[in-house]
Amino acid sequence: MNRVLVTGGTGYIGSHTVVELMEKGFDVVIIDNLSNSQIEVLDGIAGITGKRPDFEQVDLRDKANTFNVFRKYPDIGSIIHFAAFKAVGESVEKPLEYYHNNINSLIYLLEAMNAFRVNNFVFSSSCTVYGEPDTLPVTENAPIKKASSPYGNTKQICEEILQDALIPNPDFKIISLRYFNPIGAHPSALIGELPVGVPNNLVPFITQTAIGLRDELRVFGNDYNTPDGYGIRDYINVVDLSRAHVIAIERLLENRQKQKFEIFNLGTGKGLSVLEIIQTFERITGKKLKYRVVDRRDGDVEQVYADPSYANNELGWKAEKTLEETLLSAWSWEKYIRSKYNAKG
C-alpha cells in the first residue's frame, strides 16, 4: 500500500511533488484530465527521475472512471489532491464551473476512499482562506474570512467537507496544506509552471515579459500601506513546497498525526513586495524589466505572509531555497520552454 494517488499530477505543483515522491521511492499514479496541463510533463518527470509515473487521463467529475482507477491500482494507500481550477478572476466569471469542479471532485474522491478503504489524504489549500489578515505573520489559528472569490470559497468549503467527512470515518486521516505563493521551477528546468494564455500570477508574467512575450508588466498598485507601497506576499519555492507533501504523506502513513485533521501553513515567513521581486529578478538576470504601475487589482489583499513555525516544528520542514535561486529557476524554465516551442515552430 505504498502507492500515492496524485490528482492534478501533471499540473504545476503536482508535477514537482510527483518528482519528490518518486525520488523517495514511492510508487505514484497520476489522475489528470489535462484541462490545465500537458501530457509532455510526463517526459519532464521521466527525464528527472529516470522513470515514467503511471498516468490515467480521467476527469474527477466522472465518478465511474475515478472509481475504476482505484480498482486498477489496489495498492493506493494515500492521496494528494491537487486537481482543481485555480484562477481567481475566472472563478468570478464562472462560479458554477469552479464549485462544480472543485467540490464534486473532492466528494467523489472521499466516496472512493470509503469504498476502497484508503484512509490518508493530503489537500491543497491556500492562504486565500485568511483573506486580509488582522495580524501578521499569519498562523493557522487566524480566523477564516469571507472569501473574496468563488475560488477562495471552494477552498473553505472543501476544508469544511473534509472535517465533516472525518466524523463517520474514524480511520480517515487528513492534512490540509495552506500554500502561500508558490513560484519557481525544478532546478533541472525540465518541469515548471506553464500557464495557459496570459498569466495571472506575478512571476510567470515577469519571465514572459523579460523574454519578450509580453510588452510590459502591469504592477497592481504602489499606494498600499506597506514600507515601499507595493503589495506584499510570501513567495515559496515550488520544490520546497513539494517536499512538504512527501513529509505529510510519511506522517500519515506512520500515524504521527496529533489530530485526525491537521492544517499547516507552507510559506517562508518572509513578506516581500512586488518591487523587491522585480528588483531581485533584474539583478540576478541582468535584464531590465519593462513595467508600469497601474491601479490596484480587485480582490487583492495588501499583505499576507506566513508564520510557518508550526510546519517547521511539527513536520521538521523548512523552506530552504533563496529567492535568488528560485527566480533563476523560473527564468531557466522560461528560456527552456520558449526554445522548445520555437524549435517546434
C-alpha cell at 244: 512538504
287 vs 297, which CB is nearer to ligand NAD? Answer: 297
Residues with Cβ within 8 Å of 300's Cβ and at least 6 positions away in sequence, in order, are 220, 221, 231
Residue of 151, 224, 230, 235 marked active site? 151
- Do 267 and 234 form a contact (C-beta atoms < 8 A)? yes
77/152 with CB nearer ligand UD1: 152
Q: 154 to 193, contacts with ligand NAD by CB under 6 A?
A: 179, 181-182
Q: 220 touches which of ligand NAD, ligand UD1, none (CB within 5 to 8 A by kind)?
A: ligand UD1
**Out of 18, 37, 217, 319, the residue judged to bind ligand NAD by CB under 6 A:** 37
- Binding partner at 265 among ligand UD1, ligand NAD, none, C-beta below 5 to 8 Å by kind: none
Beta strands in the chain (DSSP E): 3-7, 27-32, 54-57, 76-81, 120-126, 173-179, 181-183, 217-220, 232-233, 235-237, 261-266, 272-273, 291-294
139 binds, among ligand UD1, ligand NAD, none (CB under 5 to 8 A by kind): none
Contact flag: residue 83 with ligand NAD (CB under 6 A): yes
- Measured distance CA(102)–CA(217) in Å, rounded: 30
Single out the residue of 48, 79, 86, 219 in contact with ligand NAD (rule: CB under 6 A).
86
Nearer to ligand UD1, 98 or 205 (CB): 205
Q: Burial, 276: exposed, middle or buried (Cβ in 10 Å; 0-12, 13-18, 19+)?
A: middle
Q: Where do contacts with ligand UD1 occur on this chain (CB under 6 A)? A: 86, 88, 126, 128, 149, 152, 181, 200-202, 205, 217-220, 231, 233, 274, 297, 299-301
Which partner from the list ligand UD1, ligand NAD, none does 17 bind, CB cut-off 5 to 8 Å by kind? none
Stated length of the chain: 345
Kindly tell me which of 35 and 259 has the beta carbon lying closer to ligand NAD: 35
| 151 classed as catalytic | yes
Among positions 108-127, residues that touch ligand NAD (CB under 6 A) are 124, 126
CB of 288 to ligand NAD, least distance (A): 26
Sequence-distant (≥ 6) Cβ neighbours of residue 151 within 8 angstroms: 85, 86, 87, 88, 90, 91, 98, 102, 128
Helices and strands counted in the chain (H then E)? 11, 13
Contacts of 96 (CB under 8 A, 6+ apart): none
Least separation in angstroms between residue 295's CB and ligand NAD is: 22
Nearer of residues 126 and 209 to ligand NAD, judged by Cβ:
126
Query: Which among ligand NAD, ligand UD1, none contacts residue 11 (Cβ within 5 to 8 A by kind)?
Result: ligand NAD
Cβ atoms 299, 88 nearer than 8 A: yes
Inter-residue contact 330 to 184 (CB < 8 Å): yes
Q: Which is nearer to ligand UD1, 121 or 205 (CB)?
A: 205
Binding site partner of 60, from ligand UD1, ligand NAD, none, Cβ cut-off 5-8 A by kind: ligand NAD
* Residue given cell 501578521 in the structure block: 136
Residue 219 binding target from ligand UD1, ligand NAD, none, CB below 5 to 8 Å by type: ligand UD1
Q: SS3 for 16?
A: helix
Interaction between residue 153 and ligand NAD (CB under 6 A)? no
* Inter-residue contact 62 to 107 (CB < 8 Å): no
Which neighbouring-strand residues pair with 78? Answer: 4, 120
Q: Kindly state the cell numbers that stand for 203.
A: 512571476
Instruction: Find the binder of ligand NAD among 6, 13, 232, 249 (CB under 6 A).
Output: 13
Instruction: Name the site residues for ligand NAD (rule: CB under 6 A).
Output: 8, 10-14, 31-37, 59-61, 82-84, 86, 101, 105, 124, 126, 179, 181-182
Q: Which residues are catalytic?
A: 151
